[in-house]
Amino acid sequence: MIELNTPLEMIEKTANLIENVRKQQKLQQKELALKADIPLPTYKQFIYHKKISFENIIKLFMALRMFDNLNGLVKVQEYKTLDDIKMEEKLPKRIDK
């Protein structure tokens, strides 16, 4: 079943996931922020106000060793058939308006 979420809902889920993993790893917020190389106020802004850059989310995933989550973000489409490969070759390199 496909579950559709708003961007804010996805950020909230991400914040909850990161907080839960942080607690499981017995890290304080300031320890995680230091490990991820982000300022503590930036981390708190993410947790409490859901504001963060994509780069800092990646840093948090890496600091918590959540590599499966990162791979899911940048999943590359795999080709199933020869026709799929042929269609890829036909895609335009640039799209002019």
The residue extents of the domains of the chain are 7-90
Per-residue confidence (pLDDT) for residue 64, from 0 to 100: 96
| CATH number belonging to domain 7-90 | 1.10.260.40
Q: What is the pLDDT of residue 72?
A: 72
Would you state the structure tokens that stand for residue 25, as one six-digit string?
A: 């790893």
Q: What is the mean pLDDT of the chain?
A: 86
pLDDT of amino acid 1 = 57
Tell which wins on pLDDT, 53 or 96.
53
Euclidean distance between CA atoms 29 and 22, whole angstroms: 8
pLDDT for position 20: 96
Nearest to 51 by CA among 62, 63, 39, 37: 39
Please give the helix or strand (H or E) that residue 57 lies within, else none.
Answer: helix 54-63
Model confidence band, residue 67 (pLDDT cutoffs 50, 70, 90): confident
pLDDT of 92 over the 70 cut: no
